[in-house]
Amino acid sequence: MRAIAPWIMLVVAVTFVGWMVFEVGMDIQGQTSGGVTDEVASVNGRKIEYQTFLTAVRNTQELQRQQGVPAPVTIEEQRELEDAVMEQLVQEVLLEQEYRRRDITVSDDEVRDALLNAPLPEVQQIPEFQTEGQFDLAKYQRYLRSGADPGFALALEARYRQEIPRLKLYDRLTTDVYVSEAKLWRIYKDQHDSATAEVVAIVPQVVAPEGAIEISEDEITRYYREHRTDFERPGQAFLSFSALPRRPEASDSAASLERAQQVRQEIVEGADFGEVARRESADSVSAERGGDLGEVALGTFVSEFEEAALRLRPGQISEPVLSQFGYHIIRLEERRDTLIHASHVLIPIELHGEHLDRVDRKADSLDLFAAEVEDPTILDTIAAAVGLPVVQAPPLYQGNRLQLGRFVIPDVHIWAFEAQEGYTSPIIETDWAYYVFRLDSLRPAAVPPLEEVRDEVRREVLLERQWAEARALATQIAQAITDGLDLPQVADSFGLRTQRVGPFTRLNPGPALQGAPEAIGAAFGGTIGRPSGPYETEFALFFVEPVRWTFSDREQFQEEREELHSRLIQQARQAKLQLVLQALRGQAEVEDRRRELERALQQQQQQQQGQQQMPGGPLGF
């Protein structure tokens, strides 16, 4: 069963983080088996070694690759992956400490029993263990007992030694979870009771439009003085940059068309469409399926593609079809009513020939001479040498991503607030351009002067005035209701509109009452024909008059009770488990030294190689 081999890696990959922490990453004294003593983090005094972290990152990347997840391309994506791995390592340490505190262990007999009788979900998906598409326990057990692949059994054993303690902890934490009959009935009613109501909404911006309100300078100054901290701005980075475009030209489009024609000719002459798609197509998702796009509704594909596909007979191959994605060679598989099933090979329009060489030479110059240097003048010099302008970027606020026109630039927002003034960035590659940035200056977080935020302060004063007028109007309406008028009469007298809403449930009130829990409660809990309010939300004030109620059926509840009870118990158990894990994480003393270690390793390599700075750190930063 050589086909089992790829699945071993999947099982090992899932297991690997915990195994690395507790078997390879440390010995009894907390030292790494490989002799690397750099501590990348600690959890309640328990060390996580640098090599452990790196190996876990690589293993996670391998797992993602096997699952079809694209590899990180930008610094930002790499950091997100590394942060997730670090959090998983921390959680593994916390779980191990909790197992010890609660004396949770796993025996060899428990592992053997689970191995034979409780196959993992991913194991059940292995075709060699299935009969007519369904998992066959007997096949699986025969394979294990045959001893044909000890590595597979060892990988499974490691997974069970990791999972069984988790299940035991879960059982201990959730055995006392209980959902009473009264709570079941209340939840069922929330899902099935319905109400219809007359609703009047007082929206401040509608009843007090901006043009009807005069705001004085004194009001603006007073509000700014009393709410200064509300206008605090995060740190700002002021940047200059040079961009080398990577936009295809007419010659690139012609070269891509020529390649698409060659690919089509190969298929027409008898080459297997699926094999060609796997080799040539830039659409990686469909390429894995031999170019198959599946059966979808008409209107799903871009118009150029769909119109060309609909002109084909089943099995016919199209000429290259141009769309925003490139050139498509399309094969129509089937057309049924409003459904279409097609396959394609996508040849993208990319830089070719002399144009590609010219862009690459300029990119190399930027990378070699302008990127990651301390001299603030070098960017201007090199950009001028390759015929590129240096442009000032808009101010970049810490925590935001940099947007240039319609493009969001990756990684700059990370680099800018870690660099020193005058330094240039690594070259940043996107689909549309290469960029090198220079950090001209940094401004720390602060409250800007009034003149810089005057418009924003004025908007806040305006909103405050609008709410004041809306509340005053609501007070008048409430008094009119007290005087005996019904809601439509009151609304009409104040020039407002009454809206009939419903029927709706407590859990699904519809857009009119979304985010208005008190108004929803009044629709169910008031008196038919008697209005009440106002009920204030973030966006409006509401008056509600119940019109009609429909209540849940007890007999129907009894029929659905067991399913509801099972679902609620599971949700309650998961919620309790999450609370416990969050509490463990919140109380833990976690020290993360990745940034510190990264800087130290960069300095060490600079000293050893006599270079200014590494092009990329070993942590991917």
User: Does residue 162 fall inside a structural domain?
Assistant: yes
Q: 319 pLDDT exceeds 80? A: yes
Q: What is the predicted pLDDT for the residue at 606? A: 53
Is 434 in the same domain as 512? no
Rounded Cα distance between 238 and 607, Å, is 30
Its domain, for residue 403, covers 236-245+369-443
Q: What is the predicted pLDDT for the residue at 174? A: 82
Find the range with the poorest average confidence among 434-443, 470-479, 583-592.
583-592
| Lookup result for tokens 């750099």 | 38
User: Does residue 532 fall inside a structural domain?
Assistant: yes
Cα separations (Å) of 41 from 187, 310, 372, 518, 580? 44, 59, 28, 47, 22
Q: What are 326's strand-pairing partners?
A: 323
- pLDDT (tens digit, 9 = 90+) per residue, 129-145? 889 888 989 988 898 88
* Residue type, position 573, single letter: R
Give the end of a domain, one of 314, 347, 380: 347
User: Does residue 574 fall inside a structural domain?
Assistant: no
**Quick check: helix, strand or coil at residue 425?**
coil
Query: Could you tell me the strand order of the sheet in which 292-297 lies?
Result: 292-297, 339-347, 326-336, 321-323
SS3 for 344-357 is EEEECCCCCHHHHH
Q: What is the predicted pLDDT for the residue at 602? A: 60
Contact 379, 424 (CB under 8 A): yes
Find the range with the poorest average confidence among 401-405, 441-445, 494-498, 601-605.
601-605
Q: What is the predicted pLDDT for the residue at 614? A: 39
Beta strand segments in 20-100, E: 39-43, 46-49
User: Does residue 360 fall inside a structural domain?
Assistant: no
Burial of 529 (C-beta count, 10 Å sphere; 0-12/13-18/19+):
exposed
CA atoms 283, 284, 290, 293: torsion sign: negative
Confidence band (pLDDT; 50, 70, 90) for 163? confident
Give the end of a domain, one of 414, 443, 472: 443
Is 52 in the same domain as 163? yes
- pLDDT (tens digit, 9 = 90+) per residue, 490-508? 898 898 999 999 899 999 9
**Mean pLDDT, the chain, whole residue set:** 86
Is 433 in the same domain as 461? no
User: Does residue 179 fall inside a structural domain?
Assistant: no
Q: Give the domain CATH number at 484.
A: 3.10.50
Q: 10 pLDDT exceeds 90? A: no
User: Does residue 357 fall inside a structural domain?
Assistant: no
Q: How big is the chain, counted in residues?
A: 621
Is 199 in the same domain as 279? no
Residue in 191, 244, 216, 215 with CA at minimum distance from that of residue 524: 191
Task: Over range 108-122, report the average pLDDT.
Answer: 89
Burial of 431 (C-beta count, 10 Å sphere; 0-12/13-18/19+):
exposed
Residue that wins the pLDDT comparison between 38 and 283: 283
- pLDDT (tens digit, 9 = 90+) per residue, 342-379? 999 999 998 888 899 999 999 999 988 988 898 999 99
Contact 220, 454 (CB under 8 A): yes
Burial of 9 (C-beta count, 10 Å sphere; 0-12/13-18/19+):
middle
User: Does residue 183 fall inside a structural domain?
Assistant: no
Residue ranges of the alpha helices (H) in 483-593?
487-493, 517-525, 554-587
Find the range with the poorest average confidence among 103-117, 463-477, 601-615.
601-615
Rounded Cα distance between 239 and 442, Å, is 9
User: Does residue 569 fall inside a structural domain?
Assistant: no
Is 220 in the same domain as 146? no
Rounded Cα distance between 438 and 239, Å, is 6
Task: Over range 254-273, report the average pLDDT.
Answer: 95
Contact 445, 434 (CB under 8 A): no
> Per the structure, how many domains does the chain have?
4
Q: What is the predicted pLDDT for the residue at 610? A: 52
Is 315 in the same domain as 411? no
Confidence band (pLDDT; 50, 70, 90) for 608? low
* Other Cβ atoms closer than 10 A to 331: 23
Confidence band (pLDDT; 50, 70, 90) for 483? confident
Is 118 in the same domain as 40? yes
Contact 17, 56 (CB under 8 A): yes
Which tokens hold the place of 422?
């005058």
Angle between helix axes 5-19 and 75-101 (nearest 10 degrees) is: 70
Is 386 in the same domain as 493? no
Angle between helix axes 50-66 and 75-101 (nearest 10 degrees) is: 110
- pLDDT (tens digit, 9 = 90+) per residue, 516-561? 999 999 999 888 999 998 999 999 999 999 999 999 999 999 999 9
Is 470 in the same domain as 605? no
Q: Give the domain CATH number at 278.
A: 3.10.50.40
Is 438 in the same domain as 339? no
Q: 52 pLDDT exceeds 60? A: yes
Percentage of the chain exceeding pLDDT 70 = 90
Task: Over range 213-230, report the average pLDDT.
Answer: 94
Task: Over range 266-285, report the average pLDDT.
Answer: 93
Is 158 in the same domain as 291? no
Rounded Cα distance between 26 and 511, Å, is 55
Contact 224, 451 (CB under 8 A): no
Phi, then psi, of 549 in degrees rounded to 5? -125, 145
User: Residue 503, preceding bond cis, omega within 30 degrees?
Assistant: yes
Percentage of the chain exceeding pLDDT 90 = 52
Give the end of a domain, one of 421, 443, 465: 443
Q: What is the predicted pLDDT for the residue at 605? A: 58
Q: 440 pLDDT exceeds 60? A: yes
Q: 270 pLDDT exceeds 90? A: yes
Is 164 in the same domain as 77? yes
